[in-house]
Chains A and B, each alone.
Chain A
Amino acid sequence: MNLGIKVHKLTKTYKSTKRKYGVIRVSRRETKALKGIDFTVKRGEIVGLLGPNGAGKTTTIKILSTLVLPDSGEAIVNGYNVVSQPTEARATIGVITGGERSIYHKLSGRENLIFFGRLYRLTRNEAKERADELLGIMGLQEKADIKVEDYSSGMRMKIVFARSLIHDPPTLLYDEPTLGLDPGFAREIRQLIRDKLHEKCILLTTHYMNEADFLCDRIELLHEGQIVASGTPTELKRQTRAFDVLTLQIKGVVHAEPFKGIPGVSEVTVTSDASDASAVRVHVQNGAAALRRLLDTVESQGGKVLRFAFDEPTLDDVFIQKTGRRIANGDSTEH
Chain B
Amino acid sequence: MVTLQSTNIPLSVADGEAALLKVAPARVIDFSAALTIARNSLRVSLRYPANFIIWGVMPILWLLPFVFTGIAFSGGITSAQFGGQTGYANFIPYLALGWVVFSYVDSAIWGVGNTLRWYQFAGVLEPMFLIPAPRLSILLGAAMAELVTTSMSTIILFGLSVLIFNLQFALTAVLPILLLLFLMIVAFTGFAFAFSGLILVFKDPSVLTQFVHVVIYTLTPVNYSVSVLPSWVQPLSLILPSTFAIIGIREAALAAAGIALLWGDVMILLLLVVIFWITGILVFRLAEWHTRKKGKMGAF
Q: Which residues of A contact B (CB under 8 A)?
A: 1, 12, 14-15, 33, 43, 59, 62, 65-69, 78, 87-88, 90-93, 95, 97-98, 101-107, 111, 115-116, 118-122, 125-126, 129-130, 133, 136-137, 139, 147, 163, 167-170, 196, 199-200
Distance A88 CA – B20 CA, assembled complex (angstroms) = 9
Report yes or no: A104 in contact with B122, Cβ–Cβ below 8 A. Answer: yes
B130 contacts which of A67, A118, A199, A200 (Cβ < 8 Å)? A67
Report yes or no: B8 in contact with A129, Cβ–Cβ below 8 A. Answer: yes
Contact partners of B5 in chain A: CB under 8 A: 133, 136
Report yes or no: A137 in contact with B4, Cβ–Cβ below 8 A. Answer: yes
Report yes or no: A87 in contact with B133, Cβ–Cβ below 8 A. Answer: yes
Interface size class of chain B, counting residues whose CB lies under 8 Å from the partner chain:
35 or more
Report yes or no: A115 in contact with B11, Cβ–Cβ below 8 A. Answer: no
Q: How many A-B residue pairs have CB under 8 A?
A: 136
Report yes or no: B8 in contact with A119, Cβ–Cβ below 8 A. Answer: no
Report yes or no: A170 in contact with B292, Cβ–Cβ below 8 A. Answer: no
Chain B: interface secondary structure? loop
Contact partners of B87 in chain A: CB under 8 A: none
**Given the interface contacts A92-B17, A170-B17, does A68 sit within 8 Å of B292 by beta carbon?**
yes
What residue of chain A has the Cβ atom nearest to residue B22's Cβ? Answer: A121
- Fill in one digit per residue for B240-254: 1 if any A CB lies within 8 Å of its CB, else 0: 000000000000000
Docked complex: B1-36 residues within 8 A CB-CB of A: 2, 4-5, 7-14, 16-17, 19-23, 25-27, 33, 36
Report yes or no: B9 in contact with A122, Cβ–Cβ below 8 A. Answer: yes
Report the stretch among B43-51, B78-86, B96-104 that lies at the interface.
B43-51
**Given the interface contacts A119-B37, A129-B7, does A106 sit within 8 Å of B47 by beta carbon?**
yes
Distance A199 CA – B4 CA, assembled complex (angstroms) = 13
Highest count of chain B CB atoms <10 Å: which of A65, A78, A133: A133
Report yes or no: B132 in contact with A88, Cβ–Cβ below 8 A. Answer: yes
Contact partners of B19 in chain A: CB under 8 A: 121, 167-168
What residue of chain A has the Cβ atom nearest to residue B122's Cβ? Answer: A104
Those 8 A-B pairs whose CB atoms lie nearest each other, nearest first: A101-B123, A91-B132, A87-B25, A168-B16, A106-B47, A69-B292, A119-B131, A90-B132
Distance A146 CA – B40 CA, assembled complex (angstroms) = 16
Contact partners of A147 in chain B: CB under 8 A: 47
What residue of chain B has the Cβ atom nearest to residue A94's Cβ? Answer: B130
What residue of chain A has the Cβ atom nearest to residue B127's Cβ? Answer: A102
Highest count of chain A CB atoms <10 Å: which of B5, B17, B294: B17
Report yes or no: A69 in contact with B132, Cβ–Cβ below 8 A. Answer: no
19 further A-B pairs in the complex, CB-CB below 8 A; given A91-B132, A98-B127? A66-B130, A87-B25, A87-B132, A88-B132, A102-B123, A106-B47, A107-B44, A116-B127, A119-B132, A121-B19, A121-B132, A126-B8, A129-B9, A133-B5, A136-B2, A139-B2, A163-B127, A168-B11, A168-B16
Contact partners of A107 in chain B: CB under 8 A: 40, 43-44, 47
Report yes or no: B127 in contact with A103, Cβ–Cβ below 8 A. Answer: yes
Contact partners of A98 in chain B: CB under 8 A: 123, 126-127, 298
13 chain-A/chain-B pairs, Cβ below 8 angstroms: A14-B294, A68-B295, A69-B292, A87-B27, A95-B126, A104-B122, A104-B124, A111-B43, A122-B9, A136-B5, A137-B4, A167-B19, A167-B20
Shortest beta-carbon distance from A16 to chain B in Å:
9
| B289 located at the interface, meaning its Cβ lies under 8 Å from any Cβ of chain A in the complex | yes
Report yes or no: B124 in contact with A97, Cβ–Cβ below 8 A. Answer: no
**Given the interface contacts A98-B298, A121-B22, does A168 sit within 8 Å of B130 by beta carbon?**
no
Report yes or no: A106 in contact with B295, Cβ–Cβ below 8 A. Answer: no
Contact partners of B127 in chain A: CB under 8 A: 95, 98, 102-103, 116, 163
Distance A147 CA – B134 CA, assembled complex (angstroms) = 29
Shortest beta-carbon distance from B46 to chain A in Å:
9
Report yes or no: B20 in contact with A120, Cβ–Cβ below 8 A. Answer: yes
| B158 located at the interface, meaning its Cβ lies under 8 Å from any Cβ of chain A in the complex | no
What residue of chain B has the Cβ atom nearest to residue A69's Cβ? Answer: B292
